[in-house]
Amino acid sequence: MCGIIGIVSDKGNIKGRIIEGLKRLEYRGYDSAGVAIKTDSKIFVHKKKGKVYQMEEELKGANFPSRVGIGHTRWATHGEPSDPNSHPHSDCRGEITLAHNGIIENYQELKEELRGKGHRFRSQTDSEVIAHLLEEYTGEGANFLDALKRTVNRLEGSFALVILNSKEDALYFARKDSPLVLGLGEGENFAASDVPAFLPWTNRVIFLENGEMGKLTPSGVEIYKFSGEKIDKPPTTITWSLAQAEKSGYKHFMLKEIHEQAKAIGDTVNPRINRDRNSVVIEELPISPTEINHILIIACGTSYHAGLVGKFYLEEIAGIKTEVDYASEFRYRKPVLPPSTLTIAVSQSGETADTIGALRKARQGSKSLAICNVLGSSITREADATLYTHAGPEISVASTKAFTTQLSLLLLLALYLGRERGIITPEQEADLVSKLLALPSKIEQMLRSQEEKIRQIGIEISSYRNALYLGRHLNYPIALEGALKLKEISYIHAEGYPAGEMKHGPIALIDESLPTVFIATESKVLDKVRSNMEEIKSRRGRIVSLISGKQPAIEELSDGVIRVPQVDEYLYPIINIIPLQLVAYYAADFLGHDVDQPRNLAKSVTVE
Ligand code: M6R
- Cα atoms found within 13 Å of the Cα of residue 137, Cβ hemisphere only: 18
Question: In this structure, which residue's CA is closest to atom 11 in ligand 1?
Answer: 301
Q: Identify the helix (H) or strand (E) that includes residue 426.
A: helix 426-461
CA-CA distances (angstroms) from residue 543 to 185, 369, 597?
Answer: 55, 40, 29
- Positions annotated as catalytic residues are 2, 603
**Please, are residues 88 and 63 in contact by the beta-carbon 8 Å criterion?**
no
> What would the pLDDT profile of 385-444 be if each residue is shown by its tens digit?
999 999 988 889 999 999 999 999 999 999 999 999 999 999 999 999 999 999 999 999
Across residues 126-151, what is the average pLDDT?
93
As a whole number of angstroms, the distance between CA 248 and CA 250 comes to 6
pLDDT at 603 over 80: no
Q: Identify the helix (H) or strand (E) that includes residue 601.
A: none
What atom in ligand 1 is closest to the CA of residue 485? 16
Domain coordinates of the chain in residue numbers?
Answer: 3-244, 253-590
For ligand 1, whether the C-beta of 302 sits within 6 Å is yes
Of 28, 300, 407, 606, best ligand 1 pocket probe by most atoms within 8 Å of the beta carbon: 300
Percentage of residues in the chain having pLDDT higher than 70: 99
Percentage of residues in the chain having pLDDT higher than 90: 81
As a whole number of angstroms, the distance between CA 3 and CA 162 comes to 11
> What would the pLDDT profile of 505-545 be if each residue is shown by its tens digit?
888 888 889 999 999 999 999 999 999 999 999 888 999 99
64 pLDDT band, cuts 50/70/90, is: confident
Note the pLDDT of residue 297. 98
Of 399, 406, 481, 485, best ligand 1 pocket probe by most atoms within 8 Å of the beta carbon: 399
As a whole number of angstroms, the distance between CA 252 and CA 584 comes to 13
Ligand 1 center from residue 600 Cα (angstroms):
14
Amino acid at 28: R
CA-CA distances (angstroms) from residue 192 to 28, 217, 450?
Answer: 12, 15, 40
**Please, are residues 597 and 30 in contact by the beta-carbon 8 Å criterion?**
yes
Ligand 1 center from residue 277 Cα (angstroms):
35
What atom in ligand 1 is closest to the CA of residue 400? 16
Note the pLDDT of residue 248. 72
**Please, are residues 545 and 555 in contact by the beta-carbon 8 Å criterion?**
yes
Ligand 1 center from residue 56 Cα (angstroms):
29
Note the pLDDT of residue 243. 67
Ligand 1 center from residue 328 Cα (angstroms):
12
**Please, are residues 144 and 68 in contact by the beta-carbon 8 Å criterion?**
no
> What would the pLDDT profile of 21-52 be if each residue is shown by its tens digit?
999 888 777 788 999 999 988 999 999 898 89
As a whole number of angstroms, the distance between CA 392 and CA 253 comes to 12
Highest mean pLDDT among 87-91, 388-392, 602-606: 87-91
For ligand 1, whether the C-beta of 481 sits within 6 Å is no
> What would the pLDDT profile of 195-231 be if each residue is shown by its tens digit?
889 999 999 999 998 999 999 999 999 999 999 999 9
Ligand 1 center from residue 230 Cα (angstroms):
36
CATH of span 253-590: 3.40.50.10490
CA-CA distances (angstroms) from residue 403 to 158, 241, 325, 477?
Answer: 27, 21, 17, 12
As a whole number of angstroms, the distance between CA 345 and CA 298 comes to 5
**Is the Cα torsion angle 146, 151, 156, 160 positive or negative in sign?**
negative
Q: Strand (E) positions, 406-550?
A: 466-471, 493-498, 516-520, 543-547
Q: Strand (E) positions, 255-373?
A: 273-274, 279-280, 294-299, 322-326, 341-347, 367-372
Q: So what CATH class is 3-244?
A: alpha beta
Ligand 1 center from residue 531 Cα (angstroms):
33
Q: How many residues does the chain have?
A: 608
**Is the Cα torsion angle 419, 423, 426, 427 positive or negative in sign?**
negative
What atom in ligand 1 is closest to the CA of residue 604? 1
For ligand 1, whether the C-beta of 161 sits within 6 Å is no
pLDDT at 1 over 90: no
For ligand 1, whether the C-beta of 382 sits within 6 Å is no
Which residues make Cβ contacts (< 8 Å) with residue 439, sequence separation at least 6?
262, 265, 408, 567, 571, 574, 575
For ligand 1, whether the C-beta of 488 sits within 6 Å is yes
Which residues make Cβ contacts (< 8 Å) with residue 474, sequence separation at least 6?
309, 312, 523, 569, 570, 572, 573
What atom in ligand 1 is closest to the CA of residue 603? 14
How high does pLDDT run on average in the chain? 93
pLDDT at 337 over 80: yes
For ligand 1, whether the C-beta of 597 sits within 6 Å is no
